Structure 1
Amino acid sequence: MRRFASLLVVALGAGPATAADIPADWAFKPVLRPGVPTVKGTTRTPVDAFLLARLEAKRLTFAPAADRRTLVRRLSFDLHGLPPTPEEVAAFLNDAAPDAYEKLVDRLLASPRYGERMALFWLDLARYAESDGFKADDARPNAWRYRDYVIRSFNADKPFDRFVREQLAGDELFPGDPDALTATGFLRHYPYEYNAVDVELKRQDILNDLTDTTAGAFLGLTLGCAKCHDHKTDPVTQEDYYRVQAFFAGYWPVDGPLLDAVARKDYDTKRAAWEAKTAADRAELAALEGPYREKMVKRERMRFAPELLALVDMPEANRTPLQKQMAAMVAKQVSADGKDVGKTMKGADKEKWDALAAKLAAVAKDKPADPPRVPAMTDTGPTPPATFLLKRGNWRSKGENLEPGFIASITPADPTITPTATTSGRRAALASWIADAKNPLTARVIVNRVWQHHFGVGIVPSSSDFGVGGDRPSHPELLDWLASEFVTSHGWSLKKLHRQIVTSAVYRQSARGAANDADPDNALLWQYPRRRLDGEALRDAVLMTAGVLNTKAGGPSVYPELPAEVKTGGWKVSADPAERNRRSVYVGVKRNLRYPFFSLFDSPERVEACSRRFVTTTAPQALTLLNDAMILGHAKTFATRVTRDVGNDGDKVVTRAVELALGRPPSSEEKAALVAFLRNGGADAVTDLCHALLNLNEFLYID
């Protein structure tokens, strides 16, 4: 009742709720749309009224509006992750229309650069990577297709509820849709030690990852705390944990072909014809290669218990769903498929192998080209393996057999599950529950993540812990109002949500950099919070300022040069220099070798979901910006760009360099000092000037 009483107080204009008014289990209660409070200050959107209600209670108000140059730079970095060009700045400054700012917002939201920027925070949550992790850290060559799916989804403003459903159960809910199949790559980004012998444990690790990541990313819950016992603080039991896990029990990773129904039928027809034509030769070749393949895998087979090897050797049709999962994990290690057995042959066998290989090569033109493939997820079949409550979380200590179920404190009713011919229907039921407008967590969580994107800290600072042990919302009524708007008025549109936030007065404030005893941490947002660029945006800003940013979209990842002291670890530098200068979202993500510049500026390891990057300030960051070969090289390129644009006149060089780097002209004092520096700085003075500009706080921070 306290929560509803606090909402009533706000609606009557008597004052906002404070942390003391918020019940511990507030996030598990339904979203109720509060009334917009009446305030004295000037508002641009209802968002401002909720914030001013708290500020005015402490005798505070918003800071003055930021100037136009600051706003265009702030918006450009927030929505594109890139600085505005001097031409874009000038166009905004010269636009006298009363809706000039709103037009700028709409233009930025409509650009394909928007999706590339927004994808970054979701890839952090999805623990997206292009390698397995662990010691082997094997490559995942087609994982980039999921990254492109995320970018496309943000650019198309795909409704968030659809975005949720596709990633958890695209194969079940939207069969035949290649995009929906690609979306299930969300469930494939778990770290995986493929060469481990304890496959039963690895299966449980995968199930735990799927459960924990889904709950954290979509529901903002630390569900994993209930894997060994009832949650210590949240209304979540251990039984809840394993009932949610049961939705994933039949997980079956596949590398699915990206074909629509028509293309798939054509491919299958041509493939069947080729297989029929070559059946005899392929069977003879397989029989010839069999003993050699067995010899190749004999050593690996010795690592596994006989009962596990028996699963690999038995016909697939005879395996239970659990045996199918186990056999696949073992087979990955004891199979010689794909290896060139012919190289190991001699004598008559080699001659026979060469003859058969030549016959197959002669009809290779009839074999349809393999379609592009994507790492995806489906089920072992309509009936998944059983799920048990694991005592103390130990997979060897099985307790009660559990059926799928939702978190009982949110939805006590059992799910309605409809199996398909090839899947269990369980993930579809889970996805529909999470994406239901009545779920009290989903809309609140994503709205809070978007708020965090724009202000550095969410309305709930612990953005993936909405539980009792997490932080209380600083503005609970605002959070619920935004969540209600997002679902009922905006149709789950993220672009409309972004627009609503960035057109508010609170977003347009200046960053005064001052302190205030009434709110020393600026939790009430009486000024705009100055923020440093993340590593990806910083690299992109350097490339763009130097004039070499390659804006090509999509496709396989690129691999820029590494510092000389870094061991490559399978990092194959892209041969084309232009490819190395593509946007940072397209740089390869290896778990055991993060791109050093990103790692230095606090990018996550992508081993588990990351909901918020915490910003560090370290000496190596400053030293890298001063001494790193990449930065020095781009400073030189920047200098070449400036002199190509304006020649060698000192006044013009300084003006152009400052405009490109900082989005403004130099002051008279700055110009005098910098021109004097060029006059006395020697042959590399322009490069040194450009290098210095790339090191300024004004370049590194968003005001």
Structure 2
Amino acid sequence: MISHNMRFVLSIATLIFACSSSLKAEEAVKLSEEPITEADREHWSFQPIKRPALPAVKNQTWPRTPIDHFILAELESAELQPATEANRTTLIRRLYFDVIGLPPMPEEVETFLADQSPDAYDKIVDRLLASKHYGERWAQHWLDLARFAETDGYEHDKVRPDAWKYRDWVIKALNEDMPYDQFVRWQLAGDVIAPENPEAKIATAFCLSGPDMPDINSQEERRHTLLNEMTSTIGSAFMALQMGCAQCHDHKYDPISTIDFYRMRAFFEPAVKPVKNRSVTMLASIGKPVAPSRVMIRGDWRQPGPRVQPAFLRVANLQEQAVDADDSSQQRREYAFWLTQHNHPLTSRVIVNRIWQHHFGRGLSATPSDFGLMGDLPTHPELLD
């Protein structure tokens, strides 16, 4: 008859053997992925950006800008006529609500109606763009993409006392007309690109503005959740790709593998180091090394699989660029510059579509966060280029 002590020893031995076998199995897992083919890149959003020629139109007097040529060409092909121009009172109200989200004062309407100069409308546009309310109005659209909140979410929903710093940075960046490439780069790697500039570090709060669980018992689970949510958001906000679908399995429709997802996540893993009961508000560029990046089998943080190295998303990497830097912080910097290079097929198309959506109520593609195979085709793809 086995004593209680012997049963305990056997149980511990069995557990150790099971864990050892599990670790060996994790190392033995080999994931495969399909190569990216020319057929994969035939989808419109993966095609190289080209500057299209202006389409020919019959009505040569209506177009005022190159954009008008594309709009009119579609109208003429459908045998439709452009709508008549709105009256000046309607125009100024539309402009005010569009740019700053507020109606014009009665005296501002009267001044505009009395100004018969050819550039009367342009002068109001310039004045509204220079208003502080412009940044306040348009920041809300970006903060929605950044899943900005002043609390952590979940059941405890603790207040984030420093959240306002990122919100104010976005407003300031818009009001100061920060170039979009810099705007993106600072949010992904500002702490590395401009380490002496505190605002550049504040900008990295974009990556960590999602829901968080600071008081969870397993900080490793918390870190895994933060990283997956961040990777998904970067994919949808900047590239309009639903990357999150690939954290557990290869994407069902788009040419994005599970390995692609974790390669992209690997750029950010060294910079996410949560501490229990403390909110993580910015990326950390300095600190002790972290464990090697791995694919999580079926997305389960308790099942780490093969190691992966940071690499650019294959389907969008038209030039097949490789990551040159060895230092993890510089690799993240390299990713930020890869994402914002002029020939990236997605980044500029996505932001053009978002701006169009907020001005006209509907994007040129009606699915602004999904440029993949299940998203809507753009009505005027040339305008996105």
Q: TM-score scaled by structure 1?
A: 0.47
Higher relative contact order (CA 8 A, sep 6+): 1
Give the number of aligned pairs. 340
The answer (yes or no) to whether the contact 2:56–2:73 under 8 Å persists in 1 is yes
Does residue 402 of structure 1 match 2:308? yes
**Residue aligned with 1:210, SS:** helix
In the alignment, which residue of structure 2 is the partner of 1:37? Answer: 55
Residues 599-633 of structure 1 show CA distances to partners (whole Å, capped at 9, x for unaligned) of xxxxxxxxxxxxxxxxxxxxxxxxxxxxxxxxxxx
In the alignment, which residue of structure 1 is the partner of 2:155? Answer: 135
Residues 278-323 of structure 1 show CA distances to partners (whole Å, capped at 9, x for unaligned) of xxxxxxxxxxxxxxxxxxxxxxxxxxxxxxxxxxxxxxxxxxxxxx
- The residue type equivalent to 1:78 in the other structure is D
Q: In structure 2, which of residues 286, 291, 302 is the aligned counterpart of residue 385 of structure 1?
A: 291
- Distance (whole Å) between structure 2 residues aligned to residue 397 and residue 433 of structure 1: 31
The answer (yes or no) to whether the contact 2:293–2:307 under 8 Å persists in 1 is yes
In the alignment, which residue of structure 1 is the partner of 2:221? Answer: 201
In the alignment, which residue of structure 1 is the partner of 2:126? Answer: 106
In the alignment, which residue of structure 1 is the partner of 2:342? Answer: 437
Q: 1:104 to 1:37 in 2, by over 3 A?
A: same
**Residue aligned with 1:424, SS:** helix
In the alignment, which residue of structure 2 is the partner of 1:471? Answer: 376
Q: Within 5 A, what are the aligned runs for 1:481-492?
A: none
In the alignment, which residue of structure 1 is the partner of 2:45? Answer: 27
The answer (yes or no) to whether the contact 1:25–1:234 under 8 Å persists in 2 is no
In the alignment, which residue of structure 2 is the partner of 1:247? Answer: 267
Please, which runs of 5 or more residues in structure 2 have no aligned partner?
Answer: 1-40
In the alignment, which residue of structure 1 is the partner of 2:323? Answer: 415
- The residue type equivalent to 1:390 in the other structure is M
The answer (yes or no) to whether the contact 2:208–2:226 under 8 Å persists in 1 is no
- The residue type equivalent to 1:27 in the other structure is S
**Residue aligned with 1:377, SS:** coil
In the alignment, which residue of structure 2 is the partner of 1:62? Answer: 82
In the alignment, which residue of structure 2 is the partner of 1:360? Answer: none
Percent of residue pairs identical: 48
- The residue type equivalent to 2:285 in the other structure is D
- The residue type equivalent to 1:417 in the other structure is A
Deviation of the 1:418 alpha carbon: 5.0
The answer (yes or no) to whether the contact 1:115–1:154 under 8 Å persists in 2 is yes
The answer (yes or no) to whether the contact 1:185–1:376 under 8 Å persists in 2 is yes
- Distance (whole Å) between structure 2 residues aligned to residue 153 and residue 38 of structure 1: 38
- The residue type equivalent to 1:410 in the other structure is A
- Distance (whole Å) between structure 2 residues aligned to residue 205 and residue 179 of structure 1: 26
- Distance (whole Å) between structure 2 residues aligned to residue 426 and residue 459 of structure 1: 34
Deviation of the 1:379 alpha carbon: 3.2
The answer (yes or no) to whether the contact 2:250–2:256 under 8 Å persists in 1 is yes
- Distance (whole Å) between structure 2 residues aligned to residue 73 and residue 149 of structure 1: 28
- The residue type equivalent to 2:293 in the other structure is T
Does residue 119 of structure 1 match 2:139? yes
In the alignment, which residue of structure 2 is the partner of 1:93? Answer: 113
- Distance (whole Å) between structure 1 residues aligned to residue 314 and residue 42 of structure 2: 17
The answer (yes or no) to whether the contact 1:391–1:397 under 8 Å persists in 2 is yes
Residues 303-362 of structure 1 show CA distances to partners (whole Å, capped at 9, x for unaligned) of xxxxxxxxxxxxxxxxxxxxxx47x23xx38xxxxxxxxxxxxxxxxxxxxxxxxxxxxx
The answer (yes or no) to whether the contact 1:391–1:399 under 8 Å persists in 2 is yes
Deviation of the 1:230 alpha carbon: 1.3
> C-alpha root-mean-square deviation of aligned residues, in Å?
1.7
Q: Within 5 A, what are the aligned runs for 1:240-389?
A: 240-252=260-272, 325=273, 328-329=275-276, 332=277, 375-381=281-287, 383-389=289-295
Does residue 178 of structure 1 match 2:178? no
- Distance (whole Å) between structure 2 residues aligned to residue 384 and residue 194 of structure 1: 19
Residues 30-69 of structure 1 show CA distances to partners (whole Å, capped at 9, x for unaligned) of 1011101111231111101101111111101210000001
**Residue aligned with 2:282, SS:** strand
Does residue 238 of structure 1 match 2:258? yes
- The residue type equivalent to 2:182 in the other structure is R
- The residue type equivalent to 2:200 in the other structure is A
Residues 405-464 of structure 1 show CA distances to partners (whole Å, capped at 9, x for unaligned) of 111122233212253xxx632321111111111111010000110000111110011001
Q: 1:430 to 1:226 in 2, by over 3 A?
A: same
Deviation of the 1:198 alpha carbon: 2.9
Residues 379-414 of structure 1 show CA distances to partners (whole Å, capped at 9, x for unaligned) of 353744311112211122222100001111222332
- The residue type equivalent to 2:294 in the other structure is F
- Distance (whole Å) between structure 2 residues aligned to residue 171 and residue 213 of structure 1: 19
- The residue type equivalent to 1:475 in the other structure is H
- Distance (whole Å) between structure 2 residues aligned to residue 438 and residue 381 of structure 1: 34
The answer (yes or no) to whether the contact 2:192–2:285 under 8 Å persists in 1 is no
**Residue aligned with 1:400, SS:** strand
Q: TM-score scaled by structure 2?
A: 0.85
The answer (yes or no) to whether the contact 2:209–2:281 under 8 Å persists in 1 is no
Deviation of the 1:24 alpha carbon: 6.0
Residues 463-510 of structure 1 show CA distances to partners (whole Å, capped at 9, x for unaligned) of 010111111011111111xxxxxxxxxxxxxxxxxxxxxxxxxxxxxx
**Residue aligned with 1:228, SS:** coil
In the alignment, which residue of structure 2 is the partner of 1:460? Answer: 365
Deviation of the 1:250 alpha carbon: 1.0
In the alignment, which residue of structure 2 is the partner of 1:530? Answer: none
- Distance (whole Å) between structure 2 residues aligned to residue 380 and residue 214 of structure 1: 22
The answer (yes or no) to whether the contact 1:227–1:238 under 8 Å persists in 2 is yes
In the alignment, which residue of structure 1 is the partner of 2:185? Answer: 165
The answer (yes or no) to whether the contact 1:384–1:424 under 8 Å persists in 2 is no
